[in-house]
Amino acid sequence: MSGNSFGQAFRVTTAGESHGPGNVVIIDGCPAGIPLTVEDLMVDLRRRRPGQSHLVTQRQEADEPEILAGVFEGHTTGTSIAVLIRNEDQKSRDYDDIKDKYRPGHADFTFDRKYGRRDYRGGGRSSARETVARVAAGAVAKKVIQLAFGGRVLGYVKQIGDIVANVPEPSAVTLEQIETLPDGLPNLVRCPDAAAVPRMVELIEAVRKDQDSIGGVSELVAVGVPAGLGEPVFDKLKADLAKALFSLPAVLGVEYGIGFGCATMRGSQNNDIFVASEQAGAASIATRTNRHGGMLGGISSGMPLVLRAAIKPTSSLSREQVTVTTAGAPTTIRTRGRHDPCLLPRFVPMGEAMVALVLADHWLRACAEKYALPR
C-alpha cells in the first residue's frame, strides 16, 4: 500500500490499524534542538482520545505515546523521530458478524475492489484510529511553527447539524474558549460560542438515542503565518491544505476564506482592500477584510489562514440498514461496537494537526538550508 507519507521537507509516514497492536509515525525533517517530551504530545492526544465524554465513543484508550527515536535529553536530534501509540481497548469480536457484509458509508467495498482483501475489524487502515499518529506528529509541527515564526493553529466546532455558532472574529478565539465553558465546566463540543453549546449537546444526545448520527463543520485558524509561504502552481498552500484536510476520514468538503460565498458576489464585493498597517513597530501591508482567507495566488498573505471542513455523520450505526454481502446477496446490517454519534468534537485536534504539518513543511521548504531554529 502506497500513500502513507505526507509532506516534503517536514515529512510524516504512518502505519497501523484500528484493531492492530498500535499506530506509529515517523517524522523526517524536524530540525534539531526543539524541546520535546511525551507530555508535549499528550496535550493534543488527550483532546483527540476516545472516551473523553459521554458524547463520543466509549472505547477506552490512554493514547500514551512512546518516543522511540529522534529525541535525546529532552530535545530533538535532527534525525528521524519515531512515535508509537499502542491500542489497548480493541473489541474485534464486535465485527465478527459483519465481516462478510458491506457497511454503508464505509470503505469496505472499495478496499475489497482495490486489494482483494481487507481488515474488517473497525475498518483497519481506513479507520479514524489511524489519526492518532497524525495528531502526535502535528504536536511536533506546532512546536516547529511556534518557534520558527510564532505560528499558532486552533480549530473549533462551527456547526453541528443546523446549529451554527456565532464566531465574529475567528483569529481571536482562544484555546480556553474551545476547551472550557464560562462556568468552568468542560466544553464537550469544542465550540467557542457558549450560547450554542447546550443546543449542540442536546442535538447529539437526541441523534444518539435515535441510533443515528449527525455531521457538521469545523473551522480552523492559523495566526502568525508570515507572507510568502506556498508555491504559485501545483504546490499552492491552499492546495496542500486541502489535500491535508481531505486526507482525514469523514471530510466531504473544504473551503477557505469566504469559500462558496464568493459564488454570489461581484468582484468589487469579494476583493480585500490593501492597507498599510503597523505590526511590531514596523510598517507592513495587510487587508481590511480577509475574504481571501490568508492566501492569494496560493501563497500566504500574512493575514490569518481561515479554513472550514465539512464532516459527514458517522457511518457506523446501531440501527438496522439495508446492504449486501461480499457475494452481492441482499441482507441487513447493524454495526456493533463503540462509535461517535458526532465526529466534530474529536475532529478538532485532527484538523489542527494537518494544518500545522502543512505550515511546518512549507516553512522548511521556503527557508531550505538557510533556516535554523533559535537555540
The length of the chain, given as a count of residues: 375
Print pLDDT tens along the chain (375 aa): 678 999 999 999 999 888 788 999 999 999 999 999 999 999 999 999 876 677 776 566 678 999 999 999 999 999 999 999 998 765 555 666 778 888 888 888 888 888 887 777 767 778 888 999 999 999 999 999 999 999 999 999 999 999 999 999 999 999 999 999 999 999 999 999 999 999 999 999 999 999 999 999 999 999 999 999 999 999 999 999 999 999 999 999 999 999 999 999 999 999 999 998 766 555 689 999 999 999 999 999 999 999 999 999 998 888 889 999 989 999 998 877 667 899 999 999 999 999 999 999 999 999 874 444 554
* Amino acid at position 192, single letter: P
Residue 328 three-state SS: coil
Residue 12 counted as domain residue:
yes
Instruction: Report how far residue 352's alpha carbon sits from residue 154's, in angstroms, rounded to the nearest whole number.
Output: 6
Task: Note the pTM of the prediction, 2 decimals.
Answer: 0.92
Residue 140 counted as domain residue:
yes
Instruction: Report how far residue 201's alpha carbon sits from residue 237's, in angstroms, rounded to the nearest whole number.
Output: 35
Residue 364 counted as domain residue:
yes
Residue 275 counted as domain residue:
no
The number of distinct structural domains making up the chain is 1
Instruction: Report how far residue 18's alpha carbon sits from residue 124's, in angstroms, rounded to the nearest whole number.
Output: 5
Cα dist. 51→39, 61, 89, 208 in Å? Answer: 19, 7, 11, 15
Instruction: Report how far residue 135's alpha carbon sits from residue 85's, in angstroms, rounded to the nearest whole number.
Output: 11
Lookup: cell for 296:
492569494
Instruction: Report how far residue 204's alpha carbon sits from residue 14's, in angstroms, rounded to the nearest whole number.
Output: 31
Instruction: Report how far residue 224's alpha carbon sits from residue 147's, in angstroms, rounded to the nearest whole number.
Output: 11
Concatenate the DSSP letters of all residues of 28-49 into one string: ESPPTT-B--HHHHHHHHHHH-
Residue 112 counted as domain residue:
yes
Q: Which residues form the domain of 71?
A: 5-257+292-370
- The pLDDT of residue 124: 72
Within 8 A by CB and 6+ apart from 204, the residues are 55, 160, 189, 214, 341, 342
Residue 274 counted as domain residue:
no
Instruction: Report how far residue 320's alpha carbon sits from residue 328's, in angstroms, rounded to the nearest whole number.
Output: 18
- The pLDDT of residue 283: 60
Residue 265 counted as domain residue:
no
Residue 101 three-state SS: strand
Lookup: cell for 225:
503565518
Q: Strands, E, within the chain: which ranges?
A: 5-6, 11-16, 22-28, 65-69, 71-72, 75-76, 81-86, 152-160, 163-164, 216-223, 251-256, 274-279, 282-287, 295-296, 299-300, 305-311, 321-324, 330-333
Residue 180 counted as domain residue:
yes
The DSSP 8-state label assigned to residue 343 in this structure reads S
Q: What is the domain-level CATH number for residue 61?
A: 3.60.150.10
- The pLDDT of residue 30: 97
